[in-house]
Amino acid sequence: MKMANMAVVVLAGGEGRRMGGSKPRMPWEQTTLIGHALDLARDYGSDVAVAVRDAAQVAGAVEAHLLLDEPGIEGPLAGLASALSFAQGMGACCVLTLPCDAPQLPADLAVRLQAALEPTGGVAVAQSRGRSHPTCALWRSGALEALPAYLATGRRSLNGFATAVGMTAVDWLVVGSDPFANANTPEELAALQA
């Protein structure tokens, strides 16, 4: 079910060293990890983009807005900064972030996160088996204003920033495989495909 007034950004800016590089372009079913992530993103919302560190990471593999990570920020927080800016530019109240390497995300992700987002909270974050997944989260666009102060502390953690802006954890009951499992190595990718 598509959500209104919400941007969706696939985070694909990691180097993928443990995967051997080019993680977004790794095969998944009849497409690639990034192609599959975009299909999921389009199921959640209409305004879709991909955030990368360098356009070469997804060269020729993406038919969506391409956002370049903020150069002065390290790690996934850079992709989040780009996602929040994109959402504000679209006039969206929120942005749903998805990692490119979690191909089995639940169909009700956006709906459940939106339902749990507190009126004064900055983000609703998916959680499974006691573990938080801050790349699978619905962020209020206004959280961008809190980012400079957070960065000034020297911290770069997505979890830390989520806590700083007011996080609500949304727990998924997992029976069988974890829908938030991600592929960081060829072996993990093969296990998910099995």
16 pLDDT higher than 90: no
78 pLDDT higher than 90: yes
Instruction: Give the pLDDT of residue 1.
Output: 57
| Three-state DSSP state, 64 | coil
* 125 vs 55, higher pLDDT: 125
Domains and CATH numbers, the chain: 6-193 (3.90.550.10)
159 pLDDT higher than 90: yes
In this structure, what is the dihedral angle of CA atoms 181, 182, 184, 189, given to the nearest 10 degrees? 90
Show the beta-strand stretches assigned E in 41-147.
47-52, 65-68, 94-99, 123-128, 131-140
Among all chains, which residue has been given the structure tokens 């998805």? 98
pLDDT, tens digit (0-9, with 9 covering 90-100), for 128-138: 999 999 999 99
Q: How many residues comprise the chain?
A: 194
Instruction: Give the pLDDT of residue 61.
Output: 64
Write down the H helix ranges in the chain.
Answer: 33-44, 76-90, 109-116, 147-152, 158-165, 186-193
> 168 forms bridges with which residues in the sheet?
124
pLDDT band at 24; cut points 50, 70, 90: confident
| Three-state DSSP state, 68 | strand
Instruction: Give the pLDDT of residue 193.
Output: 79
pLDDT band at 53; cut points 50, 70, 90: confident
Instruction: Give the pLDDT of residue 56.
Output: 76
Write down the H helix ranges in 45-92.
Answer: 76-90
Which of 29-33, 50-54, 149-153 is predicted most confidently? 149-153
* 185 vs 86, higher pLDDT: 86
Instruction: Give the pLDDT of residue 15.
Output: 63
